[in-house]
């Protein structure tokens, strides 16, 4: 039987051809073997699907050029920049907050040489890495003291371990949250060595509920920011002020896990439910935990801020050492925090805040420009459309930011296939599918990214 697949050479035969030997010198034999296998397998799949599909000429120049391209593609770094056209500014899958240039400069300086990470330059003695950002954090939040660990999940675990292990943590049933990545508050409390005492109901918890639950073993009253969901309707929670008075009267610590934790008020942009760290501490909360790479706009980090005596009880806990922040993140965090002080304006200097604050008209102008560019340079059809963008990162799930995007269609191509092609571009373009069309939201896209989006679409058509 003269099956077309019989005309495909064995891997070994391709490898012995002279151009393959050159490739093995330029790259490595293992990579060439891998590329040849993949190319032959692709041809087999194509012929099985359609017996009349053309077979590659496995001795031709084009075939070996294709092998080289495959090897180069496989050699690309796995972690690559992507264009975020999802309309979600802080997207955990896309690396959360982009850093400001000032933060990058600080990382470069700290990374290339040595730094006084744990050296007190005045005394010449061992210093604390926490001290490098503590003053700034206190200045920006009004806290008496602060510590930094590698993320907010660690900040919660360290805090509860140090304050409540062997005792009880009281939390409202309406605040037993799960954050993405299986961070479940009841499990975290158990991991900390404390026992969870649930009070109230899903929608209503009163001060009396907390009061009645307090016993000899109680150590902490825990509030958690219900950052990724909302219960609406018939609801009630005690104020922070009331909880803090109760905690003080009964000699307990009031801890609040804020998650995102903003340092500036976002209400002028319509985002009214994200509490400002300073306000929470002023309301009497003893200790707050929040992320460095959510609305703060810095590197991955977990910040613990609050009363000096309470922070003092955390110092020296072994988990603090196990979850300590590295020098690169610390450098980026310090530089980011400085952007919140005059003469800087955080809404101009911190990228996530800049994206939150950008006027809808500006975003619309970018969408219109992209629409024109796509029309002029590709086969795709594009249309500017109003959209809803989100702060993301588990913050403000119900509050959207007015935004604008471009709906892209490619005649004869399904939206799923178009999305896949855009993800395969270099850099990959990540949009979403809305009402059966690919939508590219412009709120988290930079002007400089537009040409790359256009060439991704042009390639997708080809």
Ligand X SMILES: *Cc1c(COP(=O)(O)O)cnc(C)c1O
Tell me which residues touch ligand X (CB under 6 A).
151-153, 177, 179, 183, 224-225, 227, 257, 259-260, 291, 302, 394
Write out the two tokens for 449. Answer: 């990214």
Q: 176 or 246: whose CB is closer to ligand X? A: 176
With residue 149 as reference, give the H or E element that holds it. Answer: strand 145-149
Nearest to residue 164, comparing CAs of 52, 34, 24, 314? 314
The least distance separating ligand X from the CB of residue 275, rounded to whole angstroms, comes to 11
298 contact partners, CB below 8 Å, separation of at least 6: 97, 99, 103, 292, 332, 333, 336, 337, 350
Q: Give the residue nearest to ligand X (CB).
A: 259
Judged by CB, which is closer to ligand X: 35, or 153? 153
Nearer to ligand X, 181 or 411 (CB): 181
270-304: burial string, b at 16+ Cβ within 10 Å, e else: ebeebbbbbebbebbbbbbbbbbbbbbbbbbbbbb
Q: Partners of 303 in the beta sheet?
A: 148, 290
From the CB of 75, what's the least distance to ligand X, in Å? 31
Q: Which is nearer to ligand X, 260 or 378 (CB)?
A: 260
Within 8 A by CB and 6+ apart from 10, the residues are none
Q: How far is the CB of 330 from ligand X (least distance, A)?
A: 15
174 vs 431, which CB is nearer to ligand X?
A: 174
CB of 343 to ligand X, least distance (A): 29
Minimum CB distance to ligand X smaller for 137 or for 418: 137
Closest separation in Å from C-beta 302 to ligand X: 6
- The span from the CA of 120 to the CA of 126, in Å, is 6
| CA distance linking residue 153 with residue 133, whole number of Å | 19
CB of 259 to ligand X, least distance (A): 2
Give dist(CA 179, CA 395) in Å, integer: 11
Q: Which helix (H) or strand (E) holds 70?
A: helix 61-75
Nearest-5° angle of CA 122, CA 328, CA 276? 90
Nearest-approach distance from CB 183 to ligand X, in angstroms = 6
Number of Cβ within 10 Å of residue 368's Cβ equals 15
Which residue's CB is nearer to ligand X, number 64 or number 390? 390
């Amino acid at each position: 039987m003269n099956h077309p697949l019989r005309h495909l050479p064995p891997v070994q035969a391709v490898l012995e051809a002279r151009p393959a030997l050159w490739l093995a010198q330029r790259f490595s034999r293992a990579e060439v073997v891998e590329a040849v296998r993949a190319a032959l397998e692709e041809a087999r799949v194509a012929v099985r699907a359609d017996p009349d599909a053309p077979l590659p000429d496995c001795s031709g120049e084009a075939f070996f050029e294709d092998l080289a391209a495959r090897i180069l593609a496989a050699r690309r770094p796995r972690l690559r920049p992507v264009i975020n056209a999802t309309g979600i500014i802080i997207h955990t899958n896309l690396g959360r907050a982009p850093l400001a240039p000032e933060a990058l400069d600080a990382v470069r300086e700290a990374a290339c040489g040595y730094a006084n990470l744990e050296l007190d330059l005045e005394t010449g003695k061992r210093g604390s890495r926490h001290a490098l950002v503590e003053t700034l954090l206190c200045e920006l939040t009004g806290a008496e003291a602060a510590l930094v660990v590698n993320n907010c999940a660690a900040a919660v675990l360290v805090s509860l371990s140090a304050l409540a292990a062997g005792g009880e943590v009281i939390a409202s049933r309406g605040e037993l949250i799960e954050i993405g990545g299986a961070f479940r508050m009841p499990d975290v409390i158990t991991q900390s060595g404390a026992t969870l005492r649930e009070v109230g109901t899903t929608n209503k918890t009163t001060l009396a509920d907390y009061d009645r639950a307090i016993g000899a073993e109680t150590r902490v009253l825990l509030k958690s920011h219900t950052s990724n969901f909302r219960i609406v309707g018939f609801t009630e929670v005690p104020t922070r002020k009331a909880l803090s008075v109760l905690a003080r009267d009964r000699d307990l610590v009031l801890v609040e896990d804020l998650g995102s934790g903003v340092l500036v008020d976002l209400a002028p942009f319509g985002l009214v439910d994200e509490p400002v760290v300073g306000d929470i501490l002023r309301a009497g909360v003893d200790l707050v935990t929040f992320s460095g790479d959510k609305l703060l706009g810095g590197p991955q980090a977990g910040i613990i801020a609050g009363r000096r005596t309470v922070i003092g009880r955390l110092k020296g806990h072994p988990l603090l050492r196990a979850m300590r922040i590295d020098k690169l993140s610390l450098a980026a965090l310090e530089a980011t925090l400085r952007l919140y002080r005059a003469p800087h304006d955080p809404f101009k200097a911190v990228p996530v805040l800049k994206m939150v604050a950008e006027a809808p008209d500006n975003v619309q102008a970018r969408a219109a420009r992209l629409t024109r560019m796509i029309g002029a340079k590709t086969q795709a059809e594009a249309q500017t459309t109003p959209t809803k963008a989100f702060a993301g990162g588990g913050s403000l799930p119900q509050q959207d930011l007015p935004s604008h995007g471009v709906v892209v269609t490619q005649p004869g191509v399904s939206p799923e296939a178009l999305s896949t092609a855009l993800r395969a571009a270099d850099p990959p373009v990540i949009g979403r599918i809305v009402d059966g069309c690919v939508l590219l939201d412009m709120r988290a896209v930079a002007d400089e990214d537009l040409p790359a989006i256009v060439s991704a679409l042009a390639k997708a058509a080809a």
